[in-house]
Each structure stands twice: as structure tokens, then as C-alpha cells.
Amino acid sequence: MSQSQVWHPFTQHALEPAIPEIVLTEGAYLHKADGTRILDAISSWWVITHGHRHPRIMKAIETTASTLDQIIFAGFTHEPAERLAKALVGLAPPGLDRVFYSDSGSTCVEVALKMALGYFRNIGAPRSRIVVMEHSYHGDTIGTMSVGARGVFNAAYEPLLFEVDTIPFPAAGREQETLDRFEAVSRNQHAAALIVEPLVLGAGGMLMYPAWVLTELKKIAEASGTLLIADEVMTGWGRTGTLFACEQASISPDILCTSKGLTGGAIPLAATLATDVIFQAHYSTDRKKTFFHSSSYTANPIACAAALANVEIWRDEPVAERIAVLSEKQAAGLQRFRDNPFFTDSRKTGTIAALDLRTGSSGYLAEIGPKLRAFFLERGLLVRPLGNVLYLLPPYCITGDELDRLHDAIEEAGERFG
């Protein structure tokens, strides 16, 4: 569109003057105004799980909007929020009995960090350090950027970010270094929390580590009284093969963050789930112990109803089977690239597959992302590489033929850019 006054996220407008307009979304596709379709291979920034505009979610939105809109959530409640909280507590790893609503991935992580700090202050043993994993991403607010590690994205805001302790990413064969470092950091007992993306570090390049590392991190956290925050904003709702990635490590974090797939991706909503111990630390006749956080759109009833419909889809439709089939197809697809010299690594966890494209200089690396994006878009494919990392994180309705199309295009991209 020309003459647009819209300022888009993560967009350098000087380099991307033409931004396509989408007029319809359906299943795995975005439809452009000119009638052409784009296959959404990244679930529109990892939010869409079952496919765009799942009828059950759309119906729930419509029905709820006929009786409720936003309600102040301090001092008031409503049925969709109450029912959803019960459902989430039932689905999440055991022990996460309290649900605090917010409206985006970043805010539910902010809430988690504040809960951790508030917990230690309220029990009279203040701790202020947060331990983070190298290459992590937890959002774009100042707080969540502080616990993230994306150099170029954070650089402009550095003076505002708070200090953290960083543990290395548990790369294959170097897992023990991560565990040893965390043990050393937590020994001084100043760490309020360790925050991690369980099993897959998304924006850091779809970096994957085994579940046993998470199990061990939880043990170390427990031994030192450090809270474990699992940021399942991206990994939740089936992406890694199970409803929540923490299940694969057989752990219950102290705090779990969920958003994106919570509503099947249709409408913004987030939730921070916490143990009753953390809630009880804030439960007091002393007003100073109140959890001081709110956003105007907390627990939007229409969004809560959409999330309830998502929960029902998980209950009534063969979602787990769909995920298992997609996981197998992703694994088979990667086989194709095993001996391809243009790709230096391939990896997969659940429904997420990633390939590292062989690249030359680091300057080339910085430029290649937008070039690859344009290459795929020309072929009607929404693939948005993270630097030289090509990944597929599709909605669960994607077909084998559609995946084949994507693999063909990836092969071609290897030949063109590798």
C-alpha cells in the first residue's frame, strides 16, 4: 500500500517500501488483495496453532462479543476467565495453581519476573539477580530485553537494561558447562530466578537442547531456592511435541508463561501461572505485599473465550495425532538436507525444524535474512529466516504436499545463497 502511515514492527521501512496487504486468512494461508495466497510456514510469528480462523475459535469470539467486552479486572471477574483459569491449571504441569492474566508474551514474562522479585521481598529475604541463558529471547519490553540476549536488537537500549547473570547455551557436548555455571551462580543464593525457554530458543536461532538439561537445571534451582521461570510463550501448545515443553523434562517450573497459541493464535491473551507458594507470599493484610501489576486489558473476556475454545479443540479434536504426524514429516523433510553442502546443521524438536545455511562473512549473515525472506515471498511462501537460520514452524493443518513445496524452495535457496 502506498502512503501508509503505519509503522511496522521489526521493519526497516527505508529498505522495505512495499508491504503486502492481507485481506483474508484461512487455514495455512494468507490471501493478498490481488487474489494470490501465501503459505504461512511460520504460523504468523508462531501464534497460529490449528490454522487461521478455526471455526470453533471464531464462533466463541462472536458469541462472547454479544454479551461481554472488556471489564475492569481489579475487583471484578467473569465466567470465561474463571473457567479458563481452571482449565489451564488442569493442563499445566502440576503445582501451578494460580493464573495471572495479561495480553502478550512480553507482558506475561514481565509479570513472571515481578512475581519472582515480589516473592523474595515478601518473604523477607530479598533477591534481585535473574539468571538467563545465552541466546535467549523473552520479549521486547525493557524488562524482557534485559533477560534476553540479542545483541543488535538490545544495543540501542543498553543503558536501560538491568544486570543479569548469563549461563552458556547447553550446546551438544557442552551441557555440563551450563549446569556447572548455573550451580556456581546459584551457590551465592542471590539469584531470584532462572528464566529459560524450555527445549527450543526461538528467536536466538531455533537452538535446541535436550530435556534432561532442563531436568538438571530444575534440580539445581530447587537446591539453591532459585525459582525456575519457564517461558513457554513459543514452545507451548504443542510446538515441541507435547502440550508444554516442560512435560518432556518431567518438571514443574515455579512460574510458567504462556501466550501465542493460548487462543490458537487468533487474538491476544497471555497468562502467567505460578505456584501457590508464590501466591501466598503476596497474600496478606499488609497492602505493601500486593502484587502490583495490571494492564487495562487484563483477562479480556472475548480472548478468554477464544482460549477456552482452543482448550476444547485440544480436548475434542485429534490435535496430538496431528502434531505427531507433522513432527514425523518434519523429520523426514530434514533427511533431504542431510548431505546437502549448503546446510551446515539441521535440527528438529516436535513440530519445529531448522537448518543453518552455510554463509560467508558475518556482513553477509546480517544481510541474508531479508534477501531470503524476499526469495520465499516471491514463491508465495512466508518463511522469515533468523539470519542464516531457515526454520519451519507451521500450523498443524499444513499438508505433506505443502511441506514438500517448502522443502523444494529451501533446496533452491541453498543453491542460490549457500
Dist CA 163 CA 181 (whole Å) = 17
Cα–Cα distance, 116 to 126 (Å, whole number):
10
- Report whether 80 contacts 69 (CB < 8 A): no
CB of residue 56 to ligand PLP, shortest distance in Å? 23
Residue 401 annotated in ligand binding? no
**Does 260 count as an annotated binding residue?**
yes
For ligand PLP, give the closer residue by CB, 261 or 414.
261
The end-to-end CA distance of the chain, in Å, is: 32
Please identify the residue of the shown chain whose CB is closest to the bound ligand PLP.
Answer: 105
* 296 annotated among ligand-binding-site residues: yes
| CA gap 348, 25 in Å, rounded | 27
Which residues are at the interface with ligand PLP (CB under 6 A)?
46, 104-106, 109, 137-139, 197, 202-203, 231, 233-234, 259
CB of 364 vs ligand PLP, minimal distance in Å: 25
- Select 37 or 373, whichever has its Cβ closest to ligand PLP: 373
DSSP lists the bridge partners of residue 352 as 349
Min dist CB 300 to ligand PLP, Å, is: 14
- Of the two residues 50 and 138, which places its CB atom closer to ligand PLP in the complex? 138
Q: Which three-class secondary structure state does DSSP give residue 374? A: helix
* Residue 260: CB minimum distance to ligand PLP, A: 6
**Toward ligand PLP, which CB reaches closer, 139 or 143?**
139
Q: If residue 309 lies in a helix (H) or strand (E), which one and from where to where?
A: helix 301-316
Nearest CB to ligand PLP, comparing residues 282 and 348: 348
Q: Tell the smallest beta-carbon distance from residue 141 to ligand PLP (Å).
A: 8
- What is the rounded CA–CA span in Å between residue 97 and residue 253? 12
Q: Which is nearer to ligand PLP, 234 or 410 (CB)?
A: 234
Q: How far is the CB of 350 from ligand PLP (least distance, A)?
A: 15
| 46 assigned ligand-binding residue | no
Residue 294, annotated as binding a ligand = yes
CA dihedral 256, 260, 261, 266 (to 10 degrees): 150
The single residue listed with the C-alpha cell 503476596 is: 282
- Judge whether 45 is annotated as a binding position: yes
Residue 353: CB partners within 8 Å, gap ≥ 6? 330, 331, 333, 334, 346, 347, 391, 392
> How far apart (Å, rounded) are the C-alpha atoms in residues 210 and 153?
27
Say how far apart CA 271 and CA 286 lie, in whole Å: 25
Binding site, annotated residues for pyridoxal 5'-phosphate: 105-106, 231, 295-296
Per the annotation, binding residues for substrate are: 45, 137, 260, 294, 384
